[in-house]
C-alpha cells in the first residue's frame, strides 16, 4: 500500500512541476475547482432523484 501512495505522490509532484514549468498551474487549479463544483451539483441531483424515487415507492406501498 505504501508503494502505491509513493507512486501517486511522485506522479502528482511530476504533474505539478510540469504545470508550473509551462505556466499552467492556475488553469489546472481552476479546472479542478470547476470539477469539484460539478461533482457537488451531480451529487445533489442524484440525492434528489433518489429521494423522489423513494417517495414514489412509499406512495405505491401505501396505496
Amino acid 57: pLDDT: 81
φ, ψ dihedrals at 22, nearest 5°: -100, 15
Tell whether 16 is covered by a domain: no
Q: Which residue has the cell 424515487?
A: 53
What is the total count of domains within the chain? 1
Which domain, by its residues, includes 46? 25-63
Q: Is residue 13 in a domain? A: no
Domain-embedded: residue 2: no
Domain-embedded: residue 49: yes
Q: How confident is residue 32, by pLDDT bands cut at 50, 70 and 90?
A: very high
Per-residue pLDDT tens over the stretch 8-19: 999 999 999 999
Q: Is residue 30 in a domain?
A: yes
Of all helices (H) and strands (E), which one includes residue 18? helix 2-21
Amino acid at each position: 500500500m505504501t508503494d502505491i501512495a509513493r507512486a501517486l505522490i511522485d506522479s502528482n509532484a511530476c504533474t505539478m512541476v510540469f504545470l508550473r514549468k509551462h505556466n499552467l498551474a492556475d488553469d489546472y487549479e481552476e479546472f479542478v475547482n470547476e470539477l469539484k463544483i460539478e461533482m457537488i451539483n451531480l451529487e445533489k441531483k442524484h440525492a434528489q432523484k433518489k429521494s423522489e424515487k423513494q417517495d414514489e415507492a412509499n406512495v405505491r406501498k401505501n396505496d
